[in-house]
Amino acid sequence: MAVGLIFLWMAGTAQAAEAPKPCEPVETKGIKVEGYISKKFRKQKRAILKEFKEIGHTRTAIRPFPMGKTAKVIGIGRCVPAYIARHVMATALKYTSGIESLVNQTFLHTHWIGIGTTTFDEPSQQLVTQEQVKQLMDPSLGDEEFHKLYRQFSVQDDTVPYFGSTPKNVKKVK
């Protein structure tokens, strides 16, 4: 009995250490764009949803933020093609409060983009500059270069400010 439990535990450990699965193409698994637009755009919601979808291979679940300004956060899954990510980022810049933080891809579904979302706390995000956002918006970047840059910019800090102290970031991805 104990040998069987040890075997199951070891099999689960080996499975967790495996490399990530290859990305399914967007033709078979579309990209979900989810999150919030600024409240001031609520009357134009239908037109804005069309604008998010016009790139193709996306479905949306976007709502007006109930309290005015959205969070300045974006999260882009590792299987989102760069051209779709750039289109969503450009559209999000028009209809949200901006982009000042990136969510680490480890916390995200592979075929998902979150804009203006408050789902992720600060330890799972990293602040970015407008120059870094511009670098991600570069149309000459292919998928691999885009995601390499995104991962580089979204590495979390080792510590997080918390009520006057700076404890270790327990959500830091290693």
The pLDDT value recorded for residue 59 is 95
What stretches of 44-157 adopt beta strand conformation (E)?
58-64, 73-76, 101-103, 112-115, 125-127
Print pLDDT tens along the chain (174 aa). 554 444 444 444 444 556 788 999 999 999 999 999 999 999 999 999 999 999 999 999 999 999 878 999 999 999 999 999 999 999 999 999 999 999 999 999 999 999 998 888 888 899 999 999 999 999 999 999 999 999 999 987 777 777 777 777 777 777
* CB-based contacts of 79, cutoff 8 Å, min separation 6: 23, 24, 29, 110, 111
Two tokens at 92? 């999000």
* Region for residue 161 given its phi and psi (left: phi exceeds 0; alpha: psi -120 to 50; beta: otherwise): beta
- Check: CB of residue 77 under 8 Å from CB of residue 111: yes
Q: Interhelix angle for 82-95 vs 143-153, to 10°?
A: 50
Predicted local confidence at residue 17, as pLDDT = 52
Residue 120: per-residue pLDDT: 87
Question: What is the rounded CA–CA span in Å between residue 47 and residue 50?
Answer: 5
Residue spans of the domains in the chain: they are 24-153
